[in-house]
Amino acid sequence: MWQNLSLRGRINLLLALLLALGLAVNITRQVAEAGPRVQAEDQSVIRLAREFIEMIVADLNEAPDPDARLNQIARDLDRLRHVSIALHDAGGNPLTPPRAETDDDMPGPPAWFVSLVHPEQTAVSVPVSVHGKPGSLVITSHPNDEIAEIWDAIVTQLEVGSVIALALFLVMMTVVGRALAPLQSLAQTMGELEDGHYDARVTPGGAPELAAICTRLNHLAARLGEAVEEKQRLAERAVSLQDVERKEIARELHDEFGPYLFSLRAHASALAKLADGRAPSAEAVRKHGGALLEQINALQQFTRRVLERLRPVGLAELGLGKALESLSRLWRESHPDVTIETTISPALGVTGETADLTIYRVVQEALTNAFRHAGATAIVVAIEPAEQPGRDGRCCARVRVSDNGRGMDPNQKLGFGLVGMRERILALGGTLNVASGEGGVTVEALVPTAAA
């Protein structure tokens, strides 16, 4: 049952139990104190009545009619509320009629309460003598009135306390309901966010803690919406970059393969004509054969560069270091006047397949830009371990590619290759920055590794 109650129901139930417990403790205390109170009141009344009787009967024999005076005293004192006083002769026989008990219509205390208080009737005899004639005034206590008063006080306390407790409970229930009202809005907003409505917001309210939670939920919803939009932009960008890359590869195939194939066809046709002749020239055959070999060699290098762009050869089999050495060797073969220095820190360790491919692509893109646009004569590639700021010491690989070229124009935007690479690294949780100056261009990337 307790697990099925809402938070508001649990708080209201606890408040009701606390109020009922407080009222019960107060009533129990009064019931427990009823017995000592009745006994104390009984003894006090008996003592006062005895002292008063002893004082007024001291000069009884000096009265003109002592007997009449004594009877009058007994009748007057018998009107007291908590005691009754009766005149007895020397033998203990009552000389005055007993006091009649009043029969009120009001209900008295219940029997269990009277039994719990357990009153004991007390009787005290005060001796008197009129002209040597002995007698006594017997004082008898009547605690029923005191018990009735205490019971009435308990009933009144119970009624008033119940009303006050009920009023407090209603007030507290209202306060708790208003304080916890944002919880329903929070649950509704979370459900909308779960359904993909990232523009849903909750109005902060209630206690400061709940208002802070509402504010944080709104901030989280905004960040989540931005992340979803960024994901959609990245997906669209990835498709666009794929199309651009396909177009670029198609252009390169057309621009590079076309001339090579045309040249090969021309030299092959020349060789065929020479073969049809009666006396082919050895020099001409050697010339066309050398041209064919040169064109085939160039075509092979171009094909290897295209394949490297599509998928690094030997990256998974040989590892990152060997793959980067192969990439550098290809560029040195086509540009022997440019020096490429590659350094991989021994402390880098295992980075993982995804990180290896990303590092390779960063170096590949940076080298491509340096050879195409920078006019550099020296390129330095450095890869070392690092910790990513703001990610609790997450392990990363720092990739830095620097050239001594002419740098970038201040108003020049990054090309599709670097933009796509930055978005790829951002999707992995890393960063990519490009710095340009008089000393050339530096591309620096932090790539999360498998050890993160």
pLDDT cut 90: percent of the chain above it: 1
Cα–Cα dist 65/67, whole Å:
6
Min mean pLDDT across 111-120, 338-347, 371-380 is at 111-120
Q: Which CATH superfamily is domain 321-452 in?
A: Histidine kinase-like ATPase, C-terminal domain (3.30.565.10)
Side chain identity at residue 373, one-letter code: H
* Helix/strand/coil percent split, the chain, to 5: 60, 15, 25
CA angle, residues 98, 102, 103, in degrees to nearest 5:
135
How, if at all, do strands 123-130 and 83-89 pair? unpaired
Query: 16, exposed or middle or buried, with CB in 10 Å at 0-12, 13-18, 19+?
Result: middle
The pLDDT tens digits of the residues spanning 357-411 come to 888 888 888 888 888 777 788 889 999 988 776 555 567 889 999 988 877 776 7
At residue 39 the predicted structure's pLDDT band, cuts being 50, 70 and 90, is confident
DSSP character string of 140-192: EE-THHHHHHHHHHHHHHHHHHHHHHHHHHHHHHHHHHHHTHHHHHHHHHHHH
pLDDT digits (tens, 9 = 90+) for 128-151: 766 666 777 777 777 777 778 888
pLDDT at 382: 92
Q: Quick one: angle between helices 282-310 and 320-334, nearest 10?
A: 140
Closest by Cα among 346, 369, 344, 370 to 359: 344
H/E element, 382: strand 378-388
> Strand pairing of 378-388 and 394-403?
antiparallel
Model pLDDT for residues 205-225, shown as the tens digit of each residue: 767 777 888 888 888 888 888
Q: Cα-flanking dihedrals φ and ψ of residue 94, to 5°? A: -70, 135
**Structural domain boundaries in the chain:** 7-98+106-179, 197-310, 321-452
The secondary structure of residue 132, as a DSSP letter, is T
φ, ψ for residue 127 (rounded to 5)? -70, 140
Is 17 a residue whose pLDDT tops 70?
yes
- Antiparallel, parallel or unpaired: β 133-141 and 378-388: unpaired
Helical H segments across 205-319, by residue range: 208-252, 258-276, 282-310, 315-318
Can you tell me the mean pLDDT for 287-304? 80
Q: Give pLDDT tens digits for 398-447.
A: 999 998 887 777 676 777 677 778 877 887 888 888 888 777 888 898 88
Strands (DSSP E) contained in 53-158 are 83-89, 123-130, 133-141
Single-letter amino acid, residue 242: Q
Q: Does the pLDDT of residue 279 top 50, yes or no?
A: yes
pLDDT of residue 103: 47
Structure tokens of 213? 């939670």
Sign for the CA dihedral angle at 58, 61, 62, 67 comes to positive
Check whether 1 has a pLDDT greater than 80.
no
pLDDT in tens, 226-252: 888 877 776 777 667 667 777 877 787
- Give all strands of the β-sheet with 431-437 in edge-to-edge order: 339-344, 378-388, 394-403, 440-448, 431-437
| pLDDT for the residue 78 | 62
What is the CB-side half-sphere exposure of residue 237 using CA atoms within 13 A?
17
Strand partners, 340: 379
Alpha carbon distance, N-terminus to C-terminus of the chain: 46
